[in-house]
Amino acid sequence: MEIAVCIKQTPDTEGAVHPAADGYSVAPFDGTWIINPHDEAAVELALQLKDSAGAHVTVVALGPARVEKALREALAMGADAAVHVKCDAMPVDPAVTARALAEELAKRHWSLILAGEVAIDSQGAQVPQRIAGRLGIPCVGAVEAATIDEDHCHVQRMVEGAREYVQCTIPAVLAINRRLAEPRYPTFRGIMQAKRKPVDVVEARLGGTGMAVRRAYLPDSREKGHMVQYGANTAADAVRFLRAVAKVI
Amino acid sequence: MAGNIIVVAEHGEGGVRSTSREVFTLAQELASATGGEWAAVVIGSVEDAVVGSPRVLHVPRPAGRDPDTCAAAAAHAAEVFGTGIILLAATATGKDVAARLAAMLGVALAQDCTGCRISEDTILLTRAPYGGKVNVEMQMLTDPWVATVRPRSFAPLAGSRAAVVETMDAALPAPMLQVRSEAMSKDLDLDVSEAGIVVSGGRGMQGPEHWGILKELVDALGPRATLACSRPVSDAGWRPRSEHVGQTGRTISPDLYIACGISGAVQHVAGIASSKWIVAINRDPAAPIFRVADYGIVGDLFEVVPALTRQLRGSQ
Ligand SMILES: Cc1cc2nc3c(=O)[nH]c(=O)nc-3n(C[C@H](O)[C@H](O)[C@H](O)COP(=O)(O)OP(=O)(O)OC[C@H]3O[C@@H](n4cnc5c(N)ncnc54)[C@H](O)[C@@H]3O)c2cc1C
Ligand SMILES: Nc1ncnc2c1ncn2[C@@H]1O[C@H](COP(=O)(O)O)[C@@H](O)[C@H]1O
């Protein structure tokens, strides 16, 4: 079984993100970069299928030179091969990313293509569905549990007020939610082996963008909140605040 | 500036969901600004869905919840109606269908928009990426384009004018997914993304057996209120996953969010940052939740929460 996992390198969740001085873009991030947390769970699922069914796992990342580090991290977790779809900067339009990734993925047959539900930075929430659309294969979004047999996958997902059980044939694209599995840590041996594993580099073919950022700004900062030590009058004061100031009850 | 506008409406037993009626409000505003017309697209059964839009494009389809047929039905309606803008609510289903629809049409999609304004004839969509750390305004460059709208970003369109219903025949593809859905058993009927007031419990609640005090607070706050929780709480099975808010759970924007025994990790705050007012109850004055709270109460939640409930009940 050949599995591809699309991983996006994103700023660490704790990292500070600012508008750039130009007022219309987001400033280059200068903190720690991580593998998108949902994608890490996708890598974990692929590695579980490697452990249980001997799957061969290839991780694929599109982006500038820095994303090689994310690929090495996934190799250290246990992925077998990596493809770096290289471009100068991360595209603003997820459709552009999806097109270039789909072009790369179409070069080989995959039993399964895994991705994350959403990138925590740009929050595009569409690359997996677009890849599946381009390849003409089924896609299931926001997957929280999955089992794969010879020719089908059976997955569970949550939507508002309901749990869905979805079945489809493979090959398929599954967009994984982090809740599916906690990713394993790379072992020392894994890290050493990752250094010797191949990272194929291909040039991304990026088409025109379908959207542009016209302004970036900080959200209204909350005024320094009112903070009190709980005491005899707190409940009455708090309720008065909610009624008279916030006017929400 | 743009052609007509459609809203792909989600509907259930109670009619069109409030999250979709909020999108009707945006559609109506955009239609009057651009001089276009707007209509709701209702896929499947139409009986329970004719609420609040002047015009309904009804696409019948086989029973089932396959998102690709939904997207194909919406694409058909968009084509027939001369549509430049396709809107959906940014619910789990709405986002998934929107992604398939945009892929099918080969056009741009902005998910989870929190606002919209028109500047010099250009429609700018507001988004809150990076877990709400920055806001951006996007211009869409394809025709048509697709956007989903974060629940509670607009007021639901009021009134239920009688709609003109046009039924259209669409050749829909055979579903690739077989979907079986199981309603979650819920103590409360309101989805967490639709609630005006959310009372949320974290690990400080110490165990599922203590949720009674939060339910009583919800009760005292009235029918607009519901429950949510932090991720460790749903991971431990204390509360259903549908209540988990944050980076890996739901993103919500209630008028009032009351965090009880929640430390306020960035991953948690990512899901609640667009709440209008945040109240935090935590016994640790250094808990990061107080940095985002408008009203912070330092104290033992097992005292504070029942006191709030008593106060609300006693002073109505
Ligand atoms: C990739 C990733 C994704 C994540 N996604 C999410 C997410 O989507 N949502 C989410 O919530 N978390 C998420 N997390 C986890 C997050 O980092 C925190 O660990 C989590 O939010 C902490 O939950 P908590 O506040 O309930 O528990 P804790 O951090 O343990 O906080 C409990 C709080 O309760 C207070 N407390 C204890 N007893 C009392 C009392 N009697 N009265 C008053 N206060 C009391 C304590 O002072 C403390 O501040 C994610 C983590 C990772 C790594
Ligand atoms: N630049 C990228 N390289 C590899 N995979 C990506 C990239 N961007 C997005 N993806 C994949 O698509 C998923 C959803 O991304 P998005 O649609 O941008 O929110 C991510 O979790 C990744 O699995």
ipTM of the complex: 0.96
Helix (H, G, I), strand (E, B) or coil at A118: coil
Find the mean pLDDT for residues B117-145. Answer: 96
Task: Give the contacts of B249 (CB within 8 A, at least 6 positions apart).
Answer: A179, B231, B234, B241, B271
Q: What share of chain A is helix, strand, coil (3-state, %, to 5)?
A: 30, 30, 40
For ligand 1, whether the C-beta of B132 sits within 6 Å is: no
Residue of B nearest to A178 (CA): B248
How far away is chain A from the Cα of B158, in angstroms, using its nearest Cα? 20
How far away is chain B from the Cα of A104, in angstroms, using its nearest Cα? 17
Q: Which amino acid is at B248?
A: T
Measured from the alpha carbon of residue A206, the closest ligand is 2
Find the mean pLDDT for residues B16-42. Answer: 94
For ligand 1, whether the C-beta of B267 sits within 6 Å is: yes
Alpha-carbon distance B106 to A59, whole Å?
A: 26
Q: Quick check: A97 contacting B, CB < 8 Å?
A: no
What's the angle, vertex CA B150, arms to CA B36 and CA B312, rounded to 5? 125
Do the beta carbons of residue A92 and residue A211 sit within 8 Å?
A: yes
What's the angle, vertex CA B145, arms to CA B191 and CA B123, rounded to 5? 90
Alpha-carbon distance A130 to A95, whole Å?
A: 7
Find the mean pLDDT for residues A207-211. Answer: 97
For ligand 1, whether the C-beta of B200 sits within 6 Å is: no
pTM of the model: 0.96
Alpha-carbon distance B2 to B204, whole Å?
A: 51
Residue of A nearest to B130 (CA): A121
Instruction: Judge: B184–A227 Cβ closer than 8 Å, yes or no.
Output: no
Q: Which three-class secondary structure string do you get for B79-134?
A: HHCCEEEEEEECCHHHHHHHHHHHHHHCCCEEEEECEEEEECCEEEEEECHHHHCC
Residue of B nearest to A165 (CA): B180
Of B100, B134, B277, the CB nearest to A216: B134
Give the distance (Å) from ligand 1 centre to CA of residue B235. 11
For ligand 2, whether the C-beta of A39 sits within 6 Å is: yes
For residue A162, pLDDT over 90 is answered with no
* pLDDT greater at residue B2 or residue B60: B60
| Atom 27 (ligand 1) nearest CA | B203
Alpha-carbon distance B274 to B255, whole Å?
A: 9
Using omega within 30 degrees of 0 as the cis cutoff, is the peptide bond preceding A198 cis?
no
Give the distance (Å) from ligand 2 centre to CA of residue B130. 14
Report pLDDT digits (tens) over B194-221.
999 999 999 999 999 999 999 999 999 9
How far away is chain A from the Cα of B9, in angstroms, using its nearest Cα? 15
**Confidence grade of residue B158 (pLDDT, cut at 50, 70, 90):** confident
Find the mean pLDDT for residues A26-45. Answer: 96
Structure tokens at A176: 């994984």
For ligand 1, whether the C-beta of B83 sits within 6 Å is: no
Q: Give me the pLDDT at residue B96, please.
A: 97
For residue B11, pLDDT over 90 is answered with no
